[in-house]
Amino acid sequence: MQPASMLEVHGIIHPGHVYWNPSVSALYSESIRRGEGSLAEGGPLVCSTGIHTGRSPDDKFIVLEPSTEQHVWWGKVNRAIDRERFGLLQKTTLQSLTKKDLFVQDCFVGADPAYRLSVRVITERAWHSLFARTMFLPVPAGQRSDEQVPEFTVIDVPSMEADPHIHGTKSNVFIVVDFSQRLVLIGGTSYAGEIKKSLFSVMNYLLPLRNVFPMHCSANVGERGDVALFFGLSGTGKTTLSSVANRSLIGDDEHGWSDEGVFNFEGGCYAKMIRLSPEEEPQIYSTTRRFGTVLENVAIDAVTGKLNLDDDRVTENTRGAYPISFINNSVPSGRGGHPDTIVMLTADAFGVMPPVAKLSPEAAMYHFLSGYTAKVAGTEKGVSEPTATFSACFGAPFMIHHPSVYARLLGECISKHKVHVWLVNTGWTGGAYGQGHRIGLGDTRAIVESLLSGALNDVRCERDMIFNLEIPTECPNVKNEILQPRSTWVNGADYDDKARTLAGMFVDNFRAFESETEAGIRQAGPR
């Protein structure tokens, strides 16, 4: 333990015991001793997040102040809170920590030393400290970073609830970023993903100011040094498709792309655990049997300690946080060169998007700005089944600048490095959700393998006249008939109706970006 007075710089006065950069084993012991989690067969720690089993996007705020006012994309995604009300919330939150035991992790976000951010994560729960130590790049156990204050601080207090009438929040949950103080306050929720995503949002603000492209994507590299990026929202397959035996994993969720190449923001992975299969996802499945993995809301037998990954009674959004080193062929440096291939993943709930389509640079920017997919059950409160949605940059909830800022950076990177870009649908075929079926993982893997090998770079394509997409006429190890989604439907007229409906949604959604984009980009979308 370190002197409690070291937290005074953060406004925390007279806390209880302060545990500074405790080891994984020490955090296991504290979590179990305090009744925060259970030890499962094989070694993972299983914890419950209570009523909040996913992110609370409506409870995210940014303090409105002069230094950031002109840069933030204010609105539904980035809600403003005034300094006065935030000051009240901050004061009450810090006072709530008096005489309370606290856990501190000094970490870094960003594997590239030129762009990494030093952060301090202060939590009231041991398992949240373990989560932070797992997900970020920690200093050695038992040590502390430089005496100076870190560049950003996260204070996570699930027991502290906001009062909307006093603090100006939407509910008792709050995730608030104050860039002037370089501070994140989280309260009212035990969902650990809020810690991870708040710092992703911070990087999404800071890096574009340095002309570095922050990305919600996974990344891996082949034996030839060929780097691939996988964009997509939760549930579209980023983690599953990038964690494969024949390629080395750079990272599974958050990256930056600088003049030197790509770099992981994190030191861990945060994967969905529901219905994992040892046959189809062996690497990720194996992490559920290891000491050092933190499992959220996964069912466990209280007597035997055995896990049931198929149990969704609490939530579909069961999660596991584990060190990226648990993936056998991960890249220790967390860095790679410039990408050769970009795969944009979507889970189409209408069942009308093709399994794979080639994108021109203009089409790539169009679909990046659109960010079409389906919200998968459980990733957000109130979502019980897949619902069509558009999320700019495949991660609008985490984007602080206007989406056009990130699209410009993407376009510049594609043009400069001559990257092949593809749209891959991991959603439904043969009908809409409830009628058709999910595209087989085996087919998706075969498609992705062909994309990364370059086998489809020169294949003949046919243009889809509704979605304005170039669809390959063949793909190794994939039946030709599934490449054209209309042919998988029993009734072609029903397909046409659904396709036109979705195309209209694309057009309506893109109107928000028309004034910020060139004609070539606007014309590259559905018609």
Q: Catalytic amino acids? A: 55, 197, 216, 234, 238-239, 253, 319
DSSP structure string for 109-167: E-SSTTT-EEEEEEESSHHHHHHHHHHSEEPPTT----SSPPSEEEEEETT----HHHH
Q: Where are the alpha helices (DSSP H) in 349-436?
A: 361-370, 403-417
Pairing of strands 117-123, 152-157: parallel
Rounded CA gap, 344 and 364, in Å? 8
Residue 144 to residue 2: CA distance in whole angstroms: 9
Alpha-helix residue ranges (DSSP H) falling in 207-248: 238-242
Query: What is the phi-psi region of residue 271: left when phi exceeds 0, alpha when psi lies from -120 to 50, beta otherwise?
Result: beta
- The Cα 56–Cα 174 span in angstroms is 8
Q: Supply φ then ψ for residue 517, to 5 degrees.
A: -125, 155
Residues with Cβ < 8 Å from 8, sequence gap 6 or more? Answer: none
Say how many C-beta atoms besides its own lie within 10 A of residue 292's C-beta: 20
* Token pair for 104: 């501190």
Please choose, from the candidates 452, 476, 416, 423, the residue with its C-alpha nearest in 3D space to the C-alpha of residue 226: 452
Give the residue ranges of DSSP H helices in 221-266.
238-242
Give the C-alpha separation, 28 to 50, whole Å.
Answer: 19
For residues 374 and 370, what is the distance between their CA atoms, to the nearest angstrom?
Answer: 12
Separation between Cα atoms, residue 308 and residue 310, nearest integer Å: 5
Structure tokens, 53:
């089993």
Q: Is 514 helix (H, G, I), strand (E, B) or coil?
A: helix
Nearest to 453 by CA among 343, 338, 347: 343
The CA distance from 56 to 41, in Å, is 31
Read off the tokens for 111.
């594997």
Provide the 8-state DSSP code for 241: H
Q: What sections of 356-432 are H helices per DSSP?
A: 361-370, 403-417
- What's the first-to-final CA gap in the chain, in angstroms? 62
Let me know: does 68 contact 62? Beta carbons within 8 Å.
Answer: yes
Does an H or E element contain 339, and which? strand 339-346
